[in-house]
């Protein structure tokens, strides 16, 4: 298993990774421009992916620590 960099940094990295996959790969496969041409929607999508991932990773860390107590 990979080492954790902490919930905040893990969430940011995971959010960026899912954003690149969503807009870089799947948007291109759908015939849309790469990263939707970096329009403002692309950047707000990045913010959304990072916020969602940070919450998901924080919940994961809390649930994992709950099982250890």
Tokens 């959010």 label which residue?
15
- Report the pLDDT value the prediction gives residue 49, as an integer from 0 to 100: 97
The answer for residues whose C-beta is within 8 angstroms of residue 32's C-beta and 6 or more apart is none
Domain residue extents for the chain: 7-68
Count of residues in the chain: 69
Burial of 56 (C-beta count, 10 Å sphere; 0-12/13-18/19+): middle
- Report the pLDDT value the prediction gives residue 67, as an integer from 0 to 100: 77
- Under a CB-based contact definition with an 8 Å cutoff, are residues 11 and 54 in contact? yes
Q: How confident is the prediction along the chain (69 residues), in pLDDT tens digits per residue?
A: 578 898 899 999 999 999 999 999 999 999 999 999 999 999 999 999 999 999 999 999 999 888 776
What is the Rg, in whole angstroms, of the alpha carbon atoms belonging to the chain? 15
């Amino acid at each position: 298993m990979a080492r954790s960099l902490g919930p905040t940094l893990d969430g940011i990295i995971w959010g960026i990774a899912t954003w690149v996959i969503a807009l870089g790969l799947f948007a291109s496969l759908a015939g849309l421009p790469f990263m939707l041409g970096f329009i403002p929607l692309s950047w707000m999508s990045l913010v959304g992916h990072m916020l969602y991932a940070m919450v998901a990773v924080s919940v994961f860390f809390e649930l994992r620590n709950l099982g250890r107590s």
